[in-house]
Amino acid sequence: MKTIRAIAAAVLVMASAVAHADVGAPQPKSHLPGLEALEKNPKALNLTVQSFGKTTHVTLALNANPTHFESKEVFGYMGLSKSGQVEPMQESVGLRVVAVPVAIMPNGALVVRLALDNSRLDALKTVKLGDRAFQLADISRDVSEATLVVKDGEEVPVMVAQDAGKRAFQVSARLAGSGDALPAAEATN
């Protein structure tokens, strides 16, 4: 049993390192049009996680600096105890999210790339990320990515996971900030 836990911990550390290496790497300048507006008008991505009837909120600050992005544990997988109470499992499953602003659209919407370290979702059967569905074999060793296009105050779905046909959890995102719309990036030829 200790060997299995050690292997699982090693896989989690490797997947987490991959997520940080991929998302933390400097992005080409062409992928950052107009993001200097985030310096004057800070934004955050508010994630809402619904799991087994409980709702939690996590806020990720959006940073225009392409070498540093905020990463947070979004949730610990909630299980049902023998008494029927919803509570964190000792061997909890988790989802870690890194939010990377990519561009500002002409309509002021922000394009955000999310790297999801879902190596700990082994208790789930299928996971839907955006419009793509993943089977357990695909997600247990990989870091998945989704690109969101979100306007101020707009809520968009990020991820839905099911366990034996029942919705185990869902994650949605809402862009928040100072209340001012982001200026659109200038079009360049």
Residue type, 101: P
- What does the angle CA 186 – CA 21 – CA 149 come to, to the nearest 5 degrees? 35
Residue 134 and residue 144: Cα distance in Å, rounded? 9
pLDDT tens string for the chain (189 positions)? 443 333 333 333 333 333 444 444 444 443 455 677 777 778 888 888 776 667 777 788 886 665 555 566 554 444 445 565 544 444 444 566 777 788 888 887 888 877 666 544 444 444 554 454 444 333 444 456 667 788 888 888 877 766 555 556 677 888 887 444 444 443 333
